[in-house]
C-alpha cells in the first residue's frame, strides 16, 4: 500500500512536470516559432490570458502577445491525442517501475522471512523432538512404578496410600498419551471401526478410576471411518473430565442421536463454556488446562464439530457431530 501511494504520487508529479515542460517549450517557441510539436495560429484577442497554460478536452494551449498588435494573440495548441500519448508513456514507465520494485520487495521479503523464521522453526522442531524423547523416556520409570506397585499390593493387600500412588501413575500415563496425541498428525491415518466397542473400551478404563460414578452407554452399533487413536483420546478425555468433576455418586450417560454423540454428566458444570478449549484455561485447581485444548485440536483435525452446553451446578453436555465420519 505504501509503495502504491508512493508511485501514484510520483505519477502525478511526472504529469505535472510534463505540463511544465510543454509550457516552457511553448514559451520558447513563441520567440522563434521554430517548433513542430505544437500547432500555431493567430486568434482574435478576447478573454484569453497571455502566458498561461490551459488544459481542456481539446488538449493543451497557451496564448502570447504579438508585438505591435493589440487585437490578435499567438496561439499554441497541443492536441489531446498527442498529449494522451505522452501521458500513456509516463503511465507505462511508472507501471513497470512499480512492478519491478514490488517484485524485488516480494523476493526480499520472502528471503528475509525465511532467514528470520528459520531459527524459530528450528527451535520448535527441537522442542518437539525433545518432548518426544522425554515421553519415550517416561516409559521405563512408569513401567517400574506400575510393576512394583502391583507387587506391593500383593504383599500388603488393599491400601489407601498405594491406591493414590497407582492413581497418580495412571494420571501421568494419561497425560503422556495426551501429549503424544497432541504432537502427532492424525488426519491421514484413518481406518474403519465399531464406535460402540471403542466407547466401551474407554468406559472400562475410566470406570476403574471412578468407581462411585455410574456410567450408562446407550449407543447402537455404528461404523466410523477416521483415526481410531485420536478419536479414542477425544472420548477418554471427555469421559475423564465428566467423571473427575462430577458430583459424588453422579452419573455419566452416553447417547447417539441423529449422527451426534452426546456425553452428558451430572457434574459441577462450567461457568465459561466458550473458554474451556483455550490452552491452560481451567476452572478447577486440579489439572493443567490442556486436556480440552487437545480435544479441540483433535476434533479439528478429524473434522468433528464439537459443542458444549453446561449449567453450573447441574451438569455438562458435550456433543460431537460425527456425520462426516460415518460409514453407514
| 148-187: pLDDT as tens digits | 888 887 888 777 777 778 777 777 776 676 666 666 655 5
CA-CA distance, 28 to 31, in Å (whole number)?
Answer: 6
pLDDT at 121: 80
pLDDT at 216: 92
- Identify which of 67, 90, 82, 79 has the alpha carbon closest to the alpha carbon of residue 18: 90
Region of 61 (left: φ > 0; alpha: ψ -120 to 50; beta: rest) is beta
Q: Which residues contact 135 (CB under 8 A, 6 or more apart)?
A: 176, 179, 180
- Report the alpha-carbon angle 265-271-273, nearest 5: 75
CA-CA distance, 131 to 176, in Å (whole number)?
Answer: 10
- Identify which of 296, 278, 299, 297 has the alpha carbon closest to the alpha carbon of residue 288: 278
pLDDT at 185: 56
Mean pLDDT of the chain, nearest integer? 84
SS (H, E, C) the chain: CHHHHHHHHHHHHHHHHHHHHHHHHHHHHHHHCCCCCCEEEEEECCCCCCCCCEEECCEEEEEEECCCCCCEEEEEEEEHHHHHHHHHHHHHHHHHHHHHHHHHHHHHHHHHHHHHHHHHHHHHHHHHHHHHHHHHHHHHHHHHHHHHHHHHHHHHCCCHHHHHHHHHHHHHHHHHHHHHHHHCCCCCCCEEEEHHHHHHHHHHHHHHHCCCCEEEEECCCCEEEECHHHHHHHHHHHHHHHHHCCCCCCEEEEEEECCEEEEEECCCCCCCHHHCCCCCCCCCCCCCCCHHHHHHHHHHHHCCEEEEEEECCCEEEEEEECCCCECC
pLDDT at 181: 62
Q: Which residues contact 58 (CB under 8 A, 6 or more apart)?
A: 77, 79, 80
Provide CATH 3.30.565.10 ranges for the chain: 188-321
- Kindly tell me if the per-residue pLDDT of 208 is higher than 60: yes
> Greater confidence, 297 or 171?
297
Pick the CATH number of 188-321 from 3.90.1150.110, 3.90.550.10, 3.30.70.20, 3.30.565.10: 3.30.565.10
Look at the block and give the residue holding cell 524459530.
120
- pLDDT of 94-129, one tens digit each? 899 999 999 999 999 989 888 888 888 888 777 777
Banded pLDDT at 307 (limits 50, 70, 90): very high
Residue 226: how many other CB atoms lie within 10 Å? 24
pLDDT at 182: 61
Instruction: Please provide the size of the chain in residues.
Output: 328
**Percent of the chain having pLDDT more than 90?**
18
pLDDT at 154: 80
> Greater confidence, 223 or 48?
223
- Identify which of 198, 327, 326, 199 has the alpha carbon closest to the alpha carbon of residue 259: 326
- For residues 21-46, give the mean pLDDT: 85
CA-CA distance, 303 to 234, in Å (whole number)?
Answer: 13
pLDDT at 200: 92
- For residues 305-315, give the mean pLDDT: 89
pLDDT at 288: 59
pLDDT at 292: 84
- Kindly tell me if the per-residue pLDDT of 323 is higher than 60: yes
Q: Which of 5-9, 79-83, 288-292 has the lowest mean pLDDT?
A: 288-292
CA-CA distance, 85 to 102, in Å (whole number)?
Answer: 26
CA-CA distance, 108 to 129, in Å (whole number)?
Answer: 31
pLDDT at 321: 93
For the entire predicted model, the pTM comes to: 0.52
Banded pLDDT at 287 (limits 50, 70, 90): low
pLDDT at 184: 62
pLDDT at 69: 79
pLDDT at 280: 72
Exposed, middle or buried by CB within 10 Å (0-12, 13-18, 19+), for 83? middle
pLDDT at 134: 72
> Greater confidence, 275 or 316?
316
Q: Which of 55-64, 128-137, 256-265, 305-314 has the lowest mean pLDDT?
A: 128-137
CA-CA distance, 226 to 154, in Å (whole number)?
Answer: 41
> Greater confidence, 207 or 175?
207
Amino acid at each position: 500500500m505504501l509503495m502504491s501511494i508512493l508511485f501514484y504520487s510520483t505519477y502525478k508529479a511526472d504529469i505535472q512536470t510534463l505540463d511544465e515542460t510543454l509550457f516552457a517549450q511553448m514559451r520558447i517557441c513563441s520567440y522563434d516559432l521554430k517548433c513542430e510539436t505544437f500547432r500555431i495560429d493567430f486568434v482574435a484577442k478576447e478573454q484569453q490570458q497571455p502566458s498561461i497554460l490551459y488544459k481542456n478536452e481539446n488538449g493543451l494551449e497557451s496564448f502570447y502577445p504579438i508585438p505591435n498588435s493589440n487585437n490578435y494573440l499567438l496561439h499554441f495548441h497541443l492536441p489531446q491525442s498527442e498529449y494522451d500519448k505522452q501521458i500513456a508513456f509516463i503511465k507505462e514507465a511508472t507501471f513497470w517501475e512499480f512492478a519491478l520494485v514490488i517484485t524485488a520487495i516480494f523476493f526480499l521479503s520472502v528471503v528475509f522471512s525465511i532467514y528470520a523464521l528459520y531459527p524459530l522453526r528450528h527451535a520448535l522442531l527441537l522442542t518437539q523432538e525433545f518432548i518426544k524423547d522425554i515421553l519415550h523416556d517416561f516409559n521405563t520409570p512408569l513401567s517400574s512404578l506400575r510393576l512394583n506397585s502391583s507387587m506391593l499390593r500383593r504383599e500388603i493387600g488393599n491400601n489407601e496410600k498405594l491406591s493414590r500412588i497407582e492413581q497418580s501413575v495412571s494420571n501421568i500415563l494419561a497425560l503422556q498419551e495426551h501429549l503424544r496425541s497432541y504432537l502427532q498428525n492424525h488426519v491421514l491415518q484413518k481406518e474403519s471401526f465399531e464406535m460402540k466397542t471403542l466407547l466401551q473400551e474407554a468406559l472400562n478404563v475410566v470406570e476403574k478410576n471412578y468407581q462411585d460414578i455410574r456410567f450408562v452407554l446407550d449407543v447402537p452399533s455404528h461404523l466410523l471411518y477416521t483415526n481410531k487413536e485420536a478419536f479414542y483420546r477425544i472420548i477418554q478425555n471427555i469421559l475423564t473430565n465428566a467423571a473427575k468433576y462430577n458430583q459424588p455418586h453422579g452419573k455419566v450417560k452416553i447417547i447417539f442421536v441423529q449422527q451426534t454423540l452426546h456425553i452428558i454428566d451430572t457434574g459441577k458444570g462450567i461457568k465459561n463454556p466458550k473458554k474451556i478449549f483455550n490452552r491452560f484455561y481451567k476452572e478447577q485447581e486440579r489439572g493443567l488446562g490442556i486436556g480440552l485444548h487437545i480435544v479441540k485440536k483433535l476434533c479439528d483435525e478429524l473434522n468433528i464439530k464439537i459443542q458444549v452446553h453446561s449449567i453450573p451446578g447441574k451438569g455438562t453436555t458435550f456433543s460431537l457431530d460425527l456425520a462426516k465420519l460415518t460409514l453407514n
